[in-house]
Amino acid sequence: YKMKKYSLLALYLFSGEALVRAIGFFTNAYIARTLNPEVLGFIAVGSSLLTYSLLISDSGLRTLGFLETAKPKSEQFFSFSEIVNVKIMHGSLAFIFLTIFTFILYSTHILRIICIFYLFNIFFDTLFIEWYYNGLQKFKIVACARIISSLFYIISLVLYVKTPTDAAKVPLYFFLSNMCSVVILFIFLPTTPFTYKFAFSLKKYIDIIRQSIPLGIGTFLNMVPIYLPPVLLDKFVNSKQTGVFWVSLKIVSIMMIVDKIFSTIFMSTLPKMWVKNSRNTKQTLQSILNFGIALGFLFSLTICVFSKPIIILIYGEKYLESSQILSILSWFFSFTLINSIF
């Protein structure tokens, strides 16, 4: 019965994540083909800057909230409200800091506008309670919210983004799509025994951050070498090279669906497995590690070998020089998958 339950959970999570990633895949391809590499570079800078802002504002809080929710109620150290309040505070600080950073680092007016539009998504991320539903293993609701959001995004782009001059509309519709997913998750929140109270306690804040930062530092360090180049390339090289790098980065993000599904199911079941039988759990962890190494190597090798035809098929020949970057970035997936297990 338990195996059947976990199989269904995996099916819900995989199907939802796969559909969202598939829509995102076509969305990114449409953006790249509609815009030219130089204008695409502006979008790359804004989205990469947003990624850093989300990592800073989150600081492992999503993972902590996920693990806390997955525990039995009597064993939880932090409440839903306490985690959300800390996320709101961190998100606000991250927005202020990175807005100042944007105006200092970049002088191009259109680039500043795009970056600010993207940074506004921080506030929706603080309220995106995907971690709460995942901790309760209610993957269907999360999947529906993300699918609706993704569909809204790509439909808006197809209807209203036709030429490179429409580049500023891309972050705007991304912002509206994120708003949709947040609203949907709050609509389906259980009324009982769920409660939320906005309050701030310095002691509780410090306790939560002490627990969350070790959980988020690994993800932050993994993302730094990947998303830092788009942020700096536009400043020190040019926007065209930024766009060329970005298309490879988007293909690697598609590969990360395997890592996200794997880690979500694994982390939601690990606390209960450990409580019931820690000895068997250690043996299971070793088997999972071996499987993760083999799977990661196979995926990365395939993308590396076929990088050139993959780039031409998805984005067109104007992004051909991105194939060399993709052959290198493909190995990032292997290391990330192994890191998720550890």
What tens digit of pLDDT does each residue of 187-224 get? 887 655 556 666 777 777 788 888 888 877 777 776 77
Indicate the average pLDDT of the chain: 79
Name the region of 240 (left: φ>0; alpha: ψ -120 to 50; beta: rest).
alpha
Whether the pLDDT of residue 158 is over 70: the answer is yes
Whether the pLDDT of residue 156 is over 50: the answer is yes
Q: Kindly indicate the confidence band of residue 123, based on its pLDDT and cuts at 50, 70 and 90.
A: confident
Give the range with max mean pLDDT: 172-176, 213-217, 237-241, 302-306.
172-176
The HSE-up count of residue 296 (CA atoms within 13 Å, CB side) is 22
Q: Kindly indicate the confidence band of residue 177, based on its pLDDT and cuts at 50, 70 and 90.
A: very high
d(CA 170, CA 35): 11
Whether the pLDDT of residue 3 is over 80: the answer is no
Q: Closest by alpha carbon to 246, among 306, 185, 301, 315? A: 315
Burial class for 18, CB neighbours closer than 10 Å (0-12, 13-18, 19+)? middle
Whether the pLDDT of residue 111 is over 80: the answer is yes
d(CA 35, CA 48): 17
d(CA 324, CA 307): 7
Q: What is the DSSP string of 213-282?
A: HHHHHHHHHHHHHHHHHHHHHHHHS-HHHHHHHHHHHHHHHHHHHHHHHHHHHHHHHHHHHHHH-HHHHH
List the beta strands (DSSP E) in the chain: none
Q: Are 184 and 144 in contact (CB under 8 A)?
A: yes
d(CA 250, CA 164): 19
Check residue 339 and give its pLDDT. Answer: 63
Check residue 295 and give its pLDDT. Answer: 74
Check residue 2 and give its pLDDT. Answer: 46
Each residue's pLDDT tens digit, 292-308 = 677 778 878 888 888 88
- Token pair, residue 127, equals 């309220």
Check residue 234 and give its pLDDT. Answer: 73
Whether the pLDDT of residue 176 is over 90: the answer is yes
The HSE-up count of residue 190 (CA atoms within 13 Å, CB side) is 8
- Token pair, residue 278, equals 């820690």
